[in-house]
Amino acid sequence: MHKARAAGFDLEVDSAAISNEERGNPPDRRSVAEARRRGIEMHAHAARQIRKADFAHFDLVIGMTAQHCAALRRLAPEGAADRIHLFTEFADGIEGDVPDPWYGGEQDFIEVFDLIDHGVDGLLAKLQADAR
């Protein structure tokens, strides 16, 4: 979100899971630590499950894995599937899924944050190009 503001965008960004397994839980402590190291606060975040209303509310729905995108397409109302994208579509030079660092260590979280940082740069560049 801070990169979007710095680029002059007024965006609403949210995060939601496919399942309700972690609903209400805070982010993993390793994720919070890496975010904080990068100047991002996540203390107010709690996991939630995606809702049908999200497809009407958001212009883009981005999955971190191909499996997430397939599940999102199954949940999406008619006409919303074209707004679903795999996150790495925006990360030049990176293909496939964003790896889940959950079962890894601190270095895995650092690498995923780096990948996401790169993808956010690509996403913002696309939004800037589309706005012209």
Cα angle vertex 124, ends 119, 125, to 5°? 95
Residue spans of the domains in the chain: they are 2-124
pLDDT digits (tens, 9 = 90+) for 86-124: 999 999 999 999 999 999 999 999 999 999 999 999 999
Q: Is 59 a residue of the active site? A: no
Let me know if domain 2-124 sits in CATH 3.30.300.30: no
Catalytic residue of the set 92, 100, 114, 117: 100
Give pLDDT, residue 112: 98
Q: Is 100 exposed, middle or buried (0-12, 13-18, 19+ CB in 10 A)?
A: exposed
The reported pTM is 0.93
Give pLDDT, residue 1: 67
Q: What is the 3-state secondary structure (H, E, C) of 78-109?
A: CCCHHHEEEHHHHCCCCCCCCCCHHHCCHHHH
Mean pLDDT across 58-85? 97
The dihedral over CA atoms of 39, 43, 48, 52, expressed in degrees to the nearest 10, equals: -50
Give pLDDT, residue 62: 99
Mean pLDDT across 52-63? 97
Cα angle vertex 56, ends 69, 113, to 5°? 45
pLDDT digits (tens, 9 = 90+) for 16-38: 999 999 999 999 999 999 999 99
Average pLDDT value over all residues in the chain: 95
- The residues, ordered by sequence, that sit 6+ positions from 23 with a Cβ below 8 Å of its Cβ are 17, 47, 48, 49
